[in-house]
Amino acid sequence: MRAEDGAVDDSVLVGRSVEVEVLETRLAAAVAGVGTVVLIEGEAGIGKSALVREVAASAGRRGVHVFAAGTATDRGPVQPFALLVRTLLSLGPPATAVERELAGLIGKYREDWARWSSPDQTLDRTQIEELLAELLHERAANGPSVVLLEDLHLVDDASLRVLERLAAGGAIPSTMLVATTRTVPRRPELVTAVAAWTRAGAAPLEVPALTPPAAVELGERLLGSRAGPVLRARLSAAGGNPQFIVDLVTAAQESDAVVADADGAVELAGGVVLRDLNQRLSARVAYVGHEALALLSIAAVLGSSFMDADLAAVAEMPEDEIWRVLRHCSAAGLVQARGGRLTFRHDLVRDALYAGLTPAVRRDLHRRASRVLFEAGAPAAVVQEHLARADDLHGETC
Ligand SMILES: Nc1ncnc2c1ncn2[C@@H]1O[C@H](COP(=O)(O)OP(=O)(O)O)[C@@H](O)[C@H]1O
Ligand SMILES: [Mg+2]
């Protein structure tokens, strides 16, 4: 679905009716005077911000006031209390006594913070924390409101501490507080704040992968046409992550790789390399850290599904060490574990990590994989395939 200016119309979310309904129910409760807190969790690109936009739009339609600081990328540098200041304090001059006092205290706090570069040396934060909580209550007294706190995994510790303290008082009447966070990284300050809100009855809303039909529907909507079988298979390789689907379609369009087929559908042209897709996807998952990416790149050589023991042998690492890293990858939604068998959640990411290996490293890993799999009793054809790939790469420069 494309608007007249060519921009993609993403005003209606694909495959999110359940999540939207849950949020609508909570919003209705806030409008009726009940305080409510929802914690939206999920991997990068799964559609947390898209759901938040949906809440904001719905609140707008109901005439409910929305306080929001935008996503982490909109917010700029992280300063103490940055999240709450941007969310709650009006952009103009402070309007109420509480706002005036807060603006003064936070200004002073930040000055000291910059000078000493250690919050411990500065004035007591308790007063600021209490005033921010008071401001939330003050706002709630003026009618129902929605407070949108995006990307808690990236916000300043001072704001997290306020949120934690706020939890002790429970949800604020007439206020729907919606926070979003990735499943990793989990800073201790975030863990503590989430624990406090869990005890206070916050509703977790885990955003699942789009189902395969919904993933295809999103791809087709972006393309403005029905997709042929090759393209549908690539869309499925995004593992139901809307961002990866957007990236795939964008790369295909920018590489002139989308062609009409005989059935009136669109298809991926054979043999065309999708420009920048691998780099884009590698950058999307880089937040899991170097160690996780390095191990997953080795796993990519073994295939979409692999055994933990084989990965440990190819990576030349002890199994418990492998699992420490794999648990992190699993929490980030990049792999799924079923006993000792692991599967990449998004084959597109696996392809990108594989493509990111240098030919010399890839050759070496395929050789090691052939040896490990032979010793583990894998069929000769599988062992041979790894050897063939190692040989294919022999002539390539590093
Ligand atoms: N259900 C959906 N239907 C259509 N587009 C979606 C859906 N979910 C996410 N998107 C699009 O996918 C991209 C990534 O979503 P976003 O909400 O930014 O992810 P997150 O906040 O979880 O990192 C955005 O371009 C967004 O508009
Ligand atoms: Mg987001």
Q: Which of 10-19, 85-94, 288-297 has the highest mean pLDDT?
A: 288-297
Q: What is the pLDDT of residue 279?
A: 96
Cα of 389 to ligand 1 centre, how many Å?
A: 37
- Looking at residues 358-364, what average pLDDT do you find? 96
- pLDDT-derived band of residue 392, with 50, 70 and 90 as boundaries? confident
Cα of 242 to ligand 1 centre, how many Å?
A: 5
- pLDDT-derived band of residue 251, with 50, 70 and 90 as boundaries? very high
- pLDDT-derived band of residue 142, with 50, 70 and 90 as boundaries? confident
Extract the runs of DSSP E, i.e. beta strands, from the chain: 36-41, 65-68, 145-149, 175-181, 203-206, 258-260, 266-268, 305-307, 335-338, 341-344
Q: Which two tokens stand for residue 40?
A: 């939206």
Mutate-to-test residue for ligand 1 from 1, 8, 10, 150, highest number of ligand atoms within 8 A of CB: 10
Residue nearest atom 13 of ligand 1, based on CA coordinates: 243
- pLDDT-derived band of residue 8, with 50, 70 and 90 as boundaries? very low
Does position 117 have pLDDT exceeding 80, yes or no?
no
Q: What is the pLDDT of residue 4?
A: 42
Q: What is the pLDDT of residue 45?
A: 97
- Looking at residues 347-359, what average pLDDT do you find? 97
- Looking at residues 168-187, what average pLDDT do you find? 93
Q: What are phi and psi of 267, to 5 degrees?
A: -140, 160
Does position 332 have pLDDT exceeding 80, yes or no?
yes
Range from 125-134, 236-245, 254-263, 359-368 carrying the lowest mean pLDDT? 125-134
Cα of 124 to ligand 1 centre, how many Å?
A: 40
Percent of the chain with pLDDT over 90: 73
Specify whether the CB–CB gap between 349 and 244 falls below 8 A: yes
For residue 359, count other CB atoms closer than 10 A to its CB: 14
Does position 10 have pLDDT exceeding 60, yes or no?
no
Q: What is the pLDDT of residue 301?
A: 98
Cα of 246 to ligand 1 centre, how many Å?
A: 9
Q: Which atom of ligand 1 is nearest to the CA of 15?
A: 1
Arithmetic mean of pLDDT over the chain: 91
Q: Alpha-carbon torsion 70, 73, 78, 79, what sign?
A: negative
Maximal CA-CA distance, the chain:
77
Residue nearest atom 4 of ligand 1, based on CA coordinates: 13
- Strands of 335-338's sheet, edge to edge? 305-307, 341-344, 335-338
Specify whether the CB–CB gap between 138 and 99 falls below 8 A: no
Instruction: Write down the domain spans for the chain.
Output: 17-206, 212-275, 281-392
Whole-angstrom Cα distance, residue 29 to residue 35? 7
Does position 7 have pLDDT exceeding 50, yes or no?
no
Whole-angstrom Cα distance, residue 223 to residue 191? 40
CATH dotted code for 281-392: 1.10.10
Q: What is the pLDDT of residue 85?
A: 85
- Looking at residues 358-387, what average pLDDT do you find? 97
Residue with tokens 């050589």: 301
Position 94, amino acid: P
Does position 29 have pLDDT exceeding 90, yes or no?
yes
Cis peptide bond upstream of 77, omega within 30: no
Q: What would you report as the CA-atom Rg of the chain, rounded to the nearest whole angstrom?
A: 25
For residue 9, count other CB atoms closer than 10 A to its CB: 11
pLDDT tens for each residue of 143-173: 999 999 999 999 988 899 999 999 999 999 9
- pLDDT-derived band of residue 2, with 50, 70 and 90 as boundaries? very low
Q: Any residues with Cβ below 6 Å from ligand 1, and which?
A: 10, 13-16, 42, 44-50, 218, 242-243, 246
Q: Which fold has domain 17-206?
A: Rossmann fold (3.40.50)
| DSSP-derived secondary structure letter, 121 | G
- Looking at residues 304-328, what average pLDDT do you find? 98
Specify whether the CB–CB gap between 50 and 180 falls below 8 A: no
Q: Which two tokens stand for residue 210?
A: 């789009």
Percent of the chain with pLDDT over 70: 92
Cα of 232 to ligand 1 centre, how many Å?
A: 19
- Tell me the residue length of the chain: 398
Position 124, amino acid: D
Whole-angstrom Cα distance, residue 198 to residue 201? 5
